[in-house]
Structure 1
Amino acid sequence: MSRQDELGMLRIILEEQYERHSTQLALLARQARQAPGDEGDLAAASALTAASRRALGDIARALHYLEQGRYGTCERCHCDIPIEQLAIRPAAQFCTTCQPEAPHLSGS
């Protein structure tokens, strides 16, 4: 299978993920309107909403890059990101060599 074929398969995954996160955001918004919960419920819903919005942004960027023919290219070194890495994290922007260190989160 060619890289273009593999990227085409990843496009389908990205589109499915975009749809799933869009649906999740709509459900969270409806749930918040129908049944305001306690502070714990609100915090959890807020965290889920923020995570879905971030994911939608990442996925939208990846789909945009697919349209431009830049998808799967490291933003730092401009080499191809391995298909295996994209399959695990389709919205990846960097190859494993250039991937910035994740910030250390306190309490995690």
Structure 2
Amino acid sequence: MYVVSRRDDLAVLRIALEEQYERHRTQLALLARQTRRLPGDGADVAATSALAAASRRALGDIARALHYLEQGRYGTCAGCRRDIPIEELARRPSTRLCGTCRPGARRQRHP
């Protein structure tokens, strides 16, 4: 049976995060171009601004995750210092707390 190590899982997540980062950068560039072309319609400008803000937040979250990966701190719960499950990191790459430490999260027990 082939067992993948956590290091291998994190390397795959790094690739996914880098791809997501580039997609958000591209989306921001397209939104900026679209904003310059939009007529004065307030609804379109507001929607475009909201999308741009969401992309900027995602870029910040992804950049932080990549920074923590570089430092070897990614995937460790800031609360209890245990490893955050890879599945959770894949779902929420910017998470810094495990399911036990995250407020309002469904409680999970550590093994």
TM normalised by structure 2 equals 0.86
User: Which protein is bigger by CA-based radius of gyration?
Assistant: 2
Per-residue deviation at 1:73?
0.7
The answer to whether structure 1 residue 49 and structure 2 residue 66 are counterparts is: no
Number of equivalences: 102
| Residue in structure 2 matching 1:60, options 58, 63, 70 | 63
Q: Deviations over 1:25-84 (max 9, x none)?
A: 000001111223511111111110110000000000000000000000111211110011
Gaps of 5+ in 1: 103-108
Q: Match for residue 20 of structure 1? A: 23
1:14 maps to a residue whose letter is: L
Decide which moves more: 35-44 or 14-23.
35-44
- Secondary structure of the equivalent of 2:74? coil
Structure 2 gap segments, 5+ residues each? 106-111
Partners of 1:16 and 1:22 lie apart in 2 by 10
CA RMSD of aligned residues (A): 1.3
TM-score by length of 1: 0.89
Closer/same/farther in 2, CA of residues 78 and 31 from structure 1, 3 Å limit: same
Distance across 1 between alignment mates of 2:37 and 2:78:
42
* 1:40 and 2:43 aligned: yes
List structure 1 segments (4+ residues) > 2 angstroms apart after TM superposition: none
Q: Does 1:72 align with 2:75?
A: yes
Tell me the distance in 1 between the aligned counterparts of 2:39 and 2:66.
35
